[in-house]
Chain A
Amino acid sequence: MLDMENTKSMSIIVTKGSLDWAYPPFILGTTAAAMDIEVTMFFTFYGLALLKKDLDLKMTTLGNPAMEMPMGGMHMKMPNMVSMIPGVDRAATTMMKNLMAKKGVASIEDLREAAVESDVRIIACQMTLDLFEYSKDTLIDGVELGGAATYMEVASKSHINLFI
C-alpha cells in the first residue's frame, strides 16, 4: 500500500498554448498522476487556451531555430523566414499532427482527458481570464479559478514545481 505520508506532490505552471508546448506539461502531469503523485496544473496567459472545450492547437516555425522535421530519412529545417509565407504554419501543424499520430504519440485532447480522469487539480488563472475576456463556460468542466496566491499556497507544499 502507498504510504500516504510519503505521497509526493508536483505543481506545474503552464504558460504556453501552442501544439508543441502543450505536450511537456500534459505528459509530465499525467505521468506523475499515474505514479501516485498529487498534481496541480496552473494555467496562465497563453496556457489558458489549453483548457478551452474546443481545442484547435497550432504551432509556428517562428522563433524556433531548432525545429527540423524528419522527412525521407533526412531532416527538413524550418527557417524562421518561411513562417511569413501564408499556409506554412498551417502545414507545419498538420505535419506535426500526422507525425505524432504515426508515432503513437497521444493527442493533447487525450492527455487532457487522462489528466482530468486521474484527478489532476486544474486551476485557471482568474487574471488571464479577465485580461483576455474568456468566459469560464468556454473552459472544460472541473476547472477551478485562482490567482498567484492560490498557486503559491500549492507550490510551497509541493515537492516538485515546474514552470513550462
Chain B
Amino acid sequence: MAEHTLNAEGLNCPLPILKAKKMLKGMAAGDILKISATDPGSAADFAAFCTHTGNELLGSSTEGDLYKFEIKKS
C-alpha cells in the first residue's frame, strides 16, 4: 500500500478538501493519504468528507496550529 502526502498548509476552505479529493482520485484502494493543514475548519470538514465518501479517516490530530489527517482510500 502506497503512502501519499498532501501539504495543504496556508490553504483555506474548501481548498484542502478539493486538493485531497484530487489526490485520492489518483490513488489505489487501500493507499494512505497524509494531510497537513492550517485551516481550523479542516478537522470537522475532513471528518464529514470521509463519512460521506466512505474513505476511512484513520487519524486526526492537532499539533499547535497544524492539523494532521490520515485517510485510507476505500
Indicate whether A and B interact.
Answer: yes
Question: Which residues in A have their C-beta under 8 angstroms from that of B12?
Answer: 103-106
Q: Are A2 and B17 neighbours in the complex by a CB distance under 8 Å?
A: no
- A-B contact number at CB 8 A: 40
A2 and B53 contact, Cβ closer than 8 Å, known pairs A30-B18, A31-B18, A114-B18: yes
Contacts of B74 in A (CB 8 A): 1
Q: How far is the CA of A50 from the CA of B14 in the complex (A)?
A: 19
Contacts A1-B74, A35-B52 given; indicate if A27 touches B14 (C-beta within 8 A). Answer: yes
CB under 8 Å from chain A, chain B span 12-54: 12-15, 17-18, 20-21, 38-39, 49, 52-54
Chain A interface secondary structure, helix, strand, loop or mixed? loop
In whole angstroms, how far apart are the Cα atoms of A105 and B12 in the complex? 5
- Chain A interface residue count, Cβ-Cβ cutoff 8 angstroms: 14
A36→B13 contact, CB < 8 A: no
Question: What B residues does A88 contact at CB under 8 A?
Answer: none
Which chain B residues lie closer than 8 Å to A2 at the CB level? 53-54
* Interface contact A104-B15, CB-CB below 8 Å: yes
Q: Determine the residue in chain A with the shortest Cβ distance to B48.
A: A35
Contact A104 B10 (CB under 8 A): yes
Per the 8 Å Cβ criterion, residues 101-123 of A in contact with B are 103-106, 114, 118
Cβ B17 vs Cβ A31 within 8 A: yes
Q: Is the CB of B11 closer than 8 A to any CB of chain A? A: yes
Docked Cα-Cα span, A130 to B41, in Å, equals 42
**Docked complex Cα distance between A35 and B49 (Å):** 6
A11-39 interface with B by 8 A CB criterion: 27, 30-31, 34-36
Chain A contact residues, CB within 8 Å of chain B = 1-2, 27, 30-31, 34-36, 103-106, 114, 118
Kindly list the 3 A-B residue pairs having the minimum CB-CB distance in the complex, ordered from nearest. Answer: A34-B21, A104-B12, A31-B14
4 A-B pairs besides A34-B21, A35-B52, A36-B53 with CB distance below 8 A are A35-B17, A104-B11, A104-B39, A105-B12
